[in-house]
Amino acid sequence: MAAMGDDTDAEVIDNYRAVRRRLEAALGDAGRPTGSAVLVAVSKTQPAERIRPLLAAGHRVFGENRVQEAKAKWPALKAAFPDAELHLIGPLQTNKVREAAALFDVIETLDRPRLAEALSQEFARHGRRPLCLVQVNTGREPQKAGIPPEEVAGFVADCRGRWAIEPAGLMCIPPADQDPAPHFALLRELALRHGLPLLSMGMSADYGEAVKHGATHVRIGTAIFGERDYG
Ligand SMILES: *Cc1c(COP(=O)(O)O)cnc(C)c1O
């Protein structure tokens, strides 16, 4: 791996600007207003030194998939950039709910009743209340987290009624080996049906398609930071 420094920083910023341009072009093609989809820069596995230049360049919204990793990187970054907005995009264990509620601004992976209950208890105890998106398993994949499409109505009703959580929207990760378009269409249809404004869908490979289907948030890692190095 090349040494970190000005060159890799410049590359990340170049990639970021290119993604922003492509995102705006996709919005234009879809007849949507400029800036109507939020770019969530997925910084999982990236060290803080690689994230900082993007913050310095003015970007504010980031996604992380692990609570422990985010806890190691983000308190210092948030101290330096207090208006940074951090999204949790990976599974949340109930024993990490307290840490997650303290650190994240948006939890995109509300994916089961037990977690809704734990979040509800945590929100009642403490003031901080991140926005929550319900993760939907649009492909009904057994190994993937999320509420199956046919259970979304019941789950959203329980969030509102039993757990006093108003979901801000829906999130999905379509099956890797399928055309994502029907999954994006399904997610939008579910969001409309249940009066949920936010739609987090689309990653590096398919965010243009997601924008056509009304994504309000696209989660982009590789196209900005390059291939992840899991070491
Ligand atoms: C890693 C990840 C992304 C980003 O994927 P890229 O293909 O690198 O853009 C988006 N969403 C979730 C849930 C992820 O875990």
| Helix 113-125 / helix 152-161 crossing angle, nearest 10 deg | 20
Pocket flag, ligand 1, residue 87 (CB < 6 Å)? no
Which H helix or E strand runs over 67?
helix 67-80
Mutate-to-test residue for ligand 1 from 42, 87, 92, 228, highest number of ligand atoms within 8 A of CB = 42
Q: Where are the beta strands (DSSP E) in the chain?
A: 38-42, 61-64, 85-88, 106-110, 131-136, 169-172, 198-200, 217-220
For residue 9, the model assigns a pLDDT of 84
- This prediction's pTM: 0.96
Q: Is 74 helix (H, G, I), strand (E, B) or coil?
A: helix
Cβ-contact 190, 136 below 8 angstroms: yes
The answer for residues whose C-beta is within 8 angstroms of residue 185's C-beta and 6 or more apart is 213
Q: Is the pLDDT of residue 18 over 60?
A: yes
Pocket flag, ligand 1, residue 40 (CB < 6 Å)? no
Pocket flag, ligand 1, residue 45 (CB < 6 Å)? no
Distance from the CA of 7 to the center of ligand 1, in angstroms? Answer: 24
Give residue-wise pLDDT tens across range 154-207: 999 999 999 999 999 999 999 999 999 999 999 999 999 999 999 999 999 999
- The neighbouring-strand residues paired with 122 are none
| pLDDT bracket for residue 16 (50, 70, 90) | very high
Distance from the CA of 33 to the center of ligand 1, in angstroms? Answer: 24
| pLDDT bracket for residue 231 (50, 70, 90) | low
| pLDDT bracket for residue 4 (50, 70, 90) | low
For residue 89, the model assigns a pLDDT of 98
Pocket flag, ligand 1, residue 194 (CB < 6 Å)? no
Q: Is the pLDDT of residue 107 over 90?
A: yes
Pocket flag, ligand 1, residue 112 (CB < 6 Å)? no
The mean pLDDT value for 136-141 works out to 98
Distance from the CA of 111 to the center of ligand 1, in angstroms? Answer: 17
Which residue has its alpha carbon closest to ligand 1 atom 10? 219
Which residue has its alpha carbon closest to ligand 1 atom 7? 204
Q: Which amino acid is at 158?
A: D
Distance from the CA of 43 to the center of ligand 1, in angstroms? Answer: 9
